[in-house]
Structure 1
Amino acid sequence: MLKEIVSFNGRYKILHMTWFAFFLSFVVWFNLAPLATQVKADFGLTVAQIRTLAICNVALTVPARIIIGMLLDKYGPRITYSLLLIYAAIPCLIFASAQNFSQLVAARLALGVVGAGFVIGIRMVAEWFPPKEIGLAEGIYGGWGNFGSAAAAFTLPVIAGWLSFGAANPQTGEALLNWRLGIGGTGIIAALYGVLYYFNVQDNPPGKVYQKPKSARGIEVTSKRDFWFLMLMNLPLSGILMVLAWRLHKVKLYDINTMYIVWACLIGLYLFQAYNCLMVNKDLLTGRKTYAAKDRYSFSQVAILELTYIVNFGSELAVVSMLPAFFEGTFALSKAQAGMIAASYAFMNLMSRPGGGLISDRLGSRKRTMAVLTAGMGIGYLMMGSVGGGWWLPLAILLTMACSFFVQAGEGSTFAIVPLIKRRITGQVAGNVGAYGNVGAVAYLTIFSLLPEWLSGEGEPTAATIAQANTIFFQIMGIAGLIVAFLCWFFLKEPKGSFAEHHEDEDTQPEPQFETVEPSYPYVSGEPNS
C-alpha cells in the first residue's frame, strides 16, 4: 500500500479526494484564529469577546458529529460530505459580512457544524480499504486532513494581506488584513470542492453493498445492558454543552436566566436523544428481538474508544491553544518565535497520525498498540509538566514533538479500530467517538482557564502562578492518559477480523441478523461475546 499511495486511481483516488475534503473543512473551521487580531481591531472587541467567539466555534461540533454520523449511515458519505462542504459557504459569508458582535457569534456557532466533517470520511475510507490496511488509510485521511488547521494559520494571513492590496492602518502604519474576503473565500472554495467531490466519488466499490442500520435515529445495541451503558455515555455529550453555556454566561454574553433556559434545552436534547435510542432498540428491550452471536458487539468497546479520543484529540486541541503562550512565557521568546515552535506540534500530524495507523496495521494487535501509544502520551505530558525556564530550549522542543507523536499516533490508532466495531453503524460510532474528542477539548480548556484563578485565590495571577497552573494542567492530561492506557490494556478487545483481507460481513445483506422471539416464550437476554 505504501508504494500505491502516490497513485490517483481506484480506492487511492477516493482516499486523496476525501482527505482533501477534510482538509478544506478544517481550513474553514479554523479560519478565524489567524485573523482574530484584525477582527478584534475592526470591531473594537474585548479579549473576552474574542475568546467567546473561539468557544462558539466548537460549541455545536459535539451534537453535529452525532447528527452527521446518523445522516452518514443513512445517506452515505458522498452526498453527506458534498452537502456539508456546500453548507460551509453560508456561515463563512455571514461571518464575512457581519456588522456587529451578535452576527459574529451566530456565524461562528453555525461554523461549528463544519467541524463535524471528519466523521464522514472515516466511513468512506473504511468502505474502500480492507481491515488489514485500515489503520494507515484512516491515518492518512485524519493526519493529512487535520493539517488544514495549520495550513489556515500559515496561509490565511498572507492571503488576507494580498487581498487588502497594500492598505495600511493610518495610525500605526501596519498592513491591514482583508479578513472578510479571506474568510468568505474559504467557504466559497469549500462549496466548489463539494460539487467536485459529489461528481467524482462513490460510496463503495462496485459490486459491494453499502450496509445501513435498520434505523439511524440512534445507535443500535445488541444487549439490554449495553442500552443502559449507552444512556450513561450520552450524558457527557449534553453535560459539556452545559459547561460551555456556563462559560458564555461568565463572559457576560447573556444573563443567568438565559443560561438556565439553555440548560433546560440541553436536558431536553438529552431526553430526545434517549427517546430515539429507545425507539431503535425497543424490540430488544421488550424481548421481541435477540441478536445472533455473530451479529453482536459490545458497546463497552465504543465507550473505551470514546475515552481514548478524549485524552488524545481532546488534549491536542487544548494544547494547540495554549502552547504558544506557554513557550513565550517559559523561555521569554517573542510571539513569532513561540508560534513557530508551537506549530511543530500541529506539523507532526502529517506523519504521526498515519504512523499510528501503520503501527496498528503492522504490530499485529490493535488493542496493544492503542494501550502503548496512550501510555506514551501520558508519560510525555507528565514530563512536559516539569519543563521550566531552566530547561535547554531544544530539549523542550524535542520533548514537545515526541509527546505530539504519541498523541496523534494514538488518534490514528483509535480510528484504526472504530470502523471494525460494527460496520453498518460505523458512521454513528465514529460520530460519538469524534464528539468525545470535543468533550475532552472543552473540559481541558475550561480547567486550563480556571486554574490560574483558583491558584491565585481569585486575584491577579502572577508569572509563578501561571507556571504552576501550566504544570498542573500537563499533569492532569498525563494522569488521564495513563488511566485510559490501563483501560485499553485490560478491557479493550481485539476486533474480529482486524487484519483480514475483507470486512467480516462484506458479503452479507444490509439488514441486521436477529431472531424473533415469540411472546409466549420467556426471553433470555444474551450478552455479547466480543
Structure 2
Amino acid sequence: MGFKVTTLWKAPEINPVNGKARSIPILNPFNKHGRVFHFAWFGFMIAFLAWYAFPPLLSVAIKKDLKLTQNEIANSNIIALTATLLVRLVAGPMCDRFGPRNTFAVTLIVGAIPSALAGTISGPGGLYAIRFFIGILGGSFVPCQVWSTGFFDKNVVGTSNALTAGWGNAGGGITYFVMPAIYDSLKKDQHLTSHVAWRVSFIVPFIIITFTAITMVLLCPDTPTGKWSERHLAVQQNLQAHGIRGEEVVDIPGTITDHQKTGTNILGSSSDEKRLEEEAGIASAKHGSFDHEATMSEQDMLSAARGEVVVKPSFQEAMSVIFTPQTLVVAACYFCSFGAELAINSILGAYYLKNFPKLGQTGTGRWAAMFGLLNVVCRPFGGIVSDIAYKKTGKVWAKKILVHSFALVTGAFLIAIGLVNSHSHSTMFGLVAGMAFFLEAGNGANFSLVPHVHPSANGIISGVTGAMGNFGGIIFAIIFRYLGNDYGKAFWIIGVVTIGLNFAVCWIKPIPKGQVGGR
C-alpha cells in the first residue's frame, strides 16, 4: 500500500511488542508519538541554533569588538566541535541507561547555561571557553535520534530520524537569520552599542532552550510503553498478552523472567514462580494491549523482543558493538557527510564575504543560511527514499547502497566548488545548493541505516556515529584553519576524502552475521 495522507493526523498503527508507530502523525501533537516527534526535532533545532549562534556575528561584530584574528576565529570553530564530540560519546550510553528523554533534557539545560554567559567574554580565551561549553548542545543530536528510533518502527524509522534531524539541523541555517536580526534590532530599536547588543542577543536562545527542556520532561513519555526502567517488563507482558509465554523468551534481557538463581534450582522455587506471575499481572495492569495494533507473525514478534529492545550493556559488550565493521561503515560515512556540514557551516559566511564583499555581514549571512535551511527538505528526502528502497527490496543493503551513492555525488560537488572557486553569485550558490542536497540527504540515509545495526545498543551506535560526525567536523575545520582564506582548496580536499573513505567501506555487509533484530 502507498502513502495515505490520513496517516499525518490519524492515530498510527502500532507494533504490538514495543509500541512503536508504523506511521508518523505529524499533524497530531495530541498523540504521544506525534508529540515526541515534535519535541525531538524542535529541541534539537533550538540546540543547533544556539550551538551555531556565534558564526553569523563572528565575521564582523564580534571580531571587531574582541579584536580577533582570523586564526582565533578558526580556533574557536574547532573548539566548539570538540565538546560536542565528547558529549556525543557519553550521550549514547546515557541514553541506554537513563533513557533518551532525560538525557535530551539534561543536555539542553547544561548547554543553555554557557549560552547565557556569552556576554562575559572579553577576549579570545573567554570565547574559546564559552564556545567549548556551548558545544554541549550539539550532543543533543544523539538523544534526539535515539528517542525518535524508540517511537517509530523499522518501516518509517528512516523517515522519522531524517525529519527530526533535518528539521533540527535547520537551526544551523535559521541562526544566520535570527542572530543578526536580534543584533540589528537591539542596535536600532533599543539603541544599544554593538559591544552590548551582540552579548544581549545570546539571552534569547537560553530562554527558549530552558523552556523547551522543562516542557519536554513534563509532557512527553520515555518510551511508547511508559517508563524507561520498565521497557523490558512491558515487552514481556505484551508478548504474553498475545499468547507467547515468558518461558519461550527467557533470553530477552531485563525481562520479568530474568532473576538471580538461588541454590541449585535453575527455575526457582514455587514462591519465585508466584512472584513472576504477580509481576506479570502488574505489568498487564500498567501496559495492556495497544489500540490500532499492526498484524505481526509470532516469529516477527519474538525477533523484535529479542533483538530490538535497548539493553544496558556492559563495558565489554559496548566495546564489541563499537569495534565492528558495521559500526565503522556508518561512522566513516557520517564522518564525511555531517563532518563536512559542520565545518562548512562555520566558514560559509566568511567564504561568501571573501568572494562577495559587497553583500556585507547580513547579506552573506542570509545566503549562508541557505546551506543549513536546506536540511528541512534534503535530509528528510534521504530518509524517505531510504525507507522506500527498504520497503521495495526488503533488504538493508538498499539503504547502504543509497548512503554511498549520495556520498560520491557529494564528493564530486565539493571538488567542483573548490576547483571553480567562483565569484559569480549564480554559479557559487548553485553549486553549494547542489552539494547541500546530496550531503544532507546522505545524512538522512545514514541515520536510516543506523537503527538496523545493533538495534539493542541503539544509544551506543548512535552516539559513536554522531561523535564521528563531529570528529569529521573537527578534522575538516582544522583543514580550513591551516589553509587560511584558501577556502576553495579546503573544499576539494574534503571532496577527495569523502569519495576515498566511502570506497574504502562500501564492501562491508550492513548487518553483522547472525544478528536477530534489525533485518
Q: Does residue 1:359 correspond to 2:385, yes or no?
A: yes
Q: CA deviation at 1:106?
A: 2.6
Could you tell me whether the CA contact under 8 Å between 1:373 and 1:410 is conserved in 2? yes
Q: CA deviation at 1:107?
A: 2.4
The separation in 2 between residues aligned to 1:283 and 1:203, in whole angstroms, is: 22
Q: Which one of 319, 343, 346 corresponds to residue 372 of structure 2? A: 346
Could you tell me whether the CA contact under 8 Å between 1:161 and 1:176 is conserved in 2? no
Match of 2:77 in 1: 54
Within a 5 Å distance, the mapping from 1:44-123 to structure 2 comes to 44-98=67-121, 101-123=124-146
Q: CA deviation at 1:185?
A: 2.9
Match of 1:6 in 2: 27
The separation in 2 between residues aligned to 1:284 and 1:300, in whole angstroms, is: 12
Residues 381-431 of structure 1 deviation map (CA, whole Å, 9 limit, x = unaligned): 222233244x86424322221111110000001111112212232111111
Match of 1:195 in 2: 214
Give the TM-score normalised by the residue count of structure 2. Answer: 0.71
Q: CA deviation at 1:338?
A: 3.9
User: Letter of the aligned partner of 2:411 in structure 1?
Assistant: G
Distance 1:176 1:102, change over 3 A: closer
Q: Does residue 1:317 correspond to 2:350, yes or no?
A: no
Could you tell me whether the CA contact under 8 Å between 1:73 and 1:424 is conserved in 2? no
Q: CA deviation at 1:483?
A: 2.2
Q: Does residue 1:443 correspond to 2:478, yes or no?
A: no
Percent pairwise identity: 26
Q: CA deviation at 1:330?
A: 4.3
Q: CA deviation at 1:307?
A: 0.7
Q: Which one of 35, 39, 42 corresponds to residue 20 of structure 1? A: 42
Q: Which one of 432, 438, 451 corresponds to residue 406 of structure 1? A: 438
Distance 1:329 1:176, change over 3 A: closer
Match of 1:205 in 2: 224
Q: Which one of 316, 319, 332 corresponds to residue 281 of structure 1? A: 316
Within a 5 Å distance, the mapping from 1:141-180 to structure 2 comes to 141-164=164-187, 165-167=189-191, 178-180=197-199
Q: CA deviation at 1:30?
A: 1.5
The separation in 2 between residues aligned to 1:283 and 1:484, in whole angstroms, is: 24
Q: CA deviation at 1:439?
A: 1.1
Q: CA deviation at 1:333?
A: 5.0
The separation in 2 between residues aligned to 1:32 and 1:72, in whole angstroms, is: 28
The separation in 2 between residues aligned to 1:2 and 1:342, in whole angstroms, is: 36
Residues 173-230 of structure 1 deviation map (CA, whole Å, 9 limit, x = unaligned): xx67622322123113211211100011112112796469989xxxxxxxxxxxxxxx
Q: CA deviation at 1:370?
A: 1.0
User: Letter of the aligned partner of 2:142 in structure 1?
Assistant: V
Could you tell me whether the CA contact under 8 Å between 2:186 and 2:192 is conserved in 1? no
Within a 5 Å distance, the mapping from 1:220-235 to structure 2 comes to none
Distance 1:110 1:342, change over 3 A: closer
Q: CA deviation at 1:284?
A: 10
Q: Which one of 145, 149, 153 corresponds to residue 126 of structure 1? A: 149
Task: Return 330-339 or 138-147, whichever deviates more.
Answer: 330-339
The separation in 1 between residues aligned to 2:68 and 2:143, in whole angstroms, is: 35
Distance 1:100 1:420, change over 3 A: same
Q: CA deviation at 1:148?
A: 1.2
Task: Return 470-479 or 434-443, whichever deviates more.
Answer: 470-479
Match of 1:524 in 2: none
Residues 296-342 of structure 1 deviation map (CA, whole Å, 9 limit, x = unaligned): 99811111111101110111122223333444444665335444333
Q: CA deviation at 1:117?
A: 0.5
Kindly report the root-mean-square deviation, in angstroms, between the aligned alpha carbons of the 2 structures: 3.4
The separation in 1 between residues aligned to 2:66 and 2:323, in whole angstroms, is: 51
Task: Return 82-91 or 371-380, whichever deviates more.
Answer: 82-91
State the secondary structure of the residue aligned to 2:223. coil
The separation in 2 between residues aligned to 1:342 and 1:362, in whole angstroms, is: 31
Give the TM-score normalised by the residue count of structure 1. Answer: 0.69
Match of 1:138 in 2: 161
The separation in 2 between residues aligned to 1:64 and 1:119, in whole angstroms, is: 9
User: Letter of the aligned partner of 1:316 in structure 2?
Assistant: E
The separation in 2 between residues aligned to 1:442 and 1:201, in whole angstroms, is: 34
Q: Which one of 382, 391, 404 corresponds to residue 371 of structure 1? A: 404
The separation in 2 between residues aligned to 1:283 and 1:139, in whole angstroms, is: 25
User: Letter of the aligned partner of 1:315 in structure 2?
Assistant: A
Q: CA deviation at 1:116?
A: 0.5
Q: CA deviation at 1:130?
A: 0.6
Could you tell me whether the CA contact under 8 Å between 1:147 and 1:346 is conserved in 2? yes
Distance 1:471 1:148, change over 3 A: closer
Could you tell me whether the CA contact under 8 Å between 2:326 and 2:511 is conserved in 1? no
The separation in 2 between residues aligned to 1:117 and 1:421, in whole angstroms, is: 21
Paired positions, count:
410
The separation in 1 between residues aligned to 2:445 and 2:4, in whole angstroms, is: 17
The separation in 1 between residues aligned to 2:95 and 2:206, in whole angstroms, is: 22
Task: Return 300-309 or 380-389, whichever deviates more.
Answer: 380-389
Could you tell me whether the CA contact under 8 Å between 2:322 and 2:464 is conserved in 1? no
Match of 2:286 in 1: none
Could you tell me whether the CA contact under 8 Å between 1:65 and 1:116 is conserved in 2? yes
The separation in 1 between residues aligned to 2:405 and 2:171, in whole angstroms, is: 28
Distance 1:478 1:45, change over 3 A: closer
Task: Return 192-201 or 334-343, whichever deviates more.
Answer: 334-343
Residues 505-526 of structure 1 deviation map (CA, whole Å, 9 limit, x = unaligned): 8xxxxxxxxxxxxxxxxxxxxx
Match of 2:503 in 1: 486
Distance 1:283 1:50, change over 3 A: closer
Could you tell me whether the CA contact under 8 Å between 1:87 and 1:191 is conserved in 2? no
Could you tell me whether the CA contact under 8 Å between 1:119 and 1:430 is conserved in 2? yes
Q: Which one of 46, 51, 55 corresponds to residue 33 of structure 1? A: 55
State the secondary structure of the residue aligned to 1:491. coil
Distance 1:98 1:322, change over 3 A: closer
Could you tell me whether the CA contact under 8 Å between 1:370 and 1:488 is conserved in 2? no
The separation in 2 between residues aligned to 1:150 and 1:284, in whole angstroms, is: 36
Q: CA deviation at 1:2?
A: 7.3
Match of 1:421 in 2: 453
Match of 1:513 in 2: none
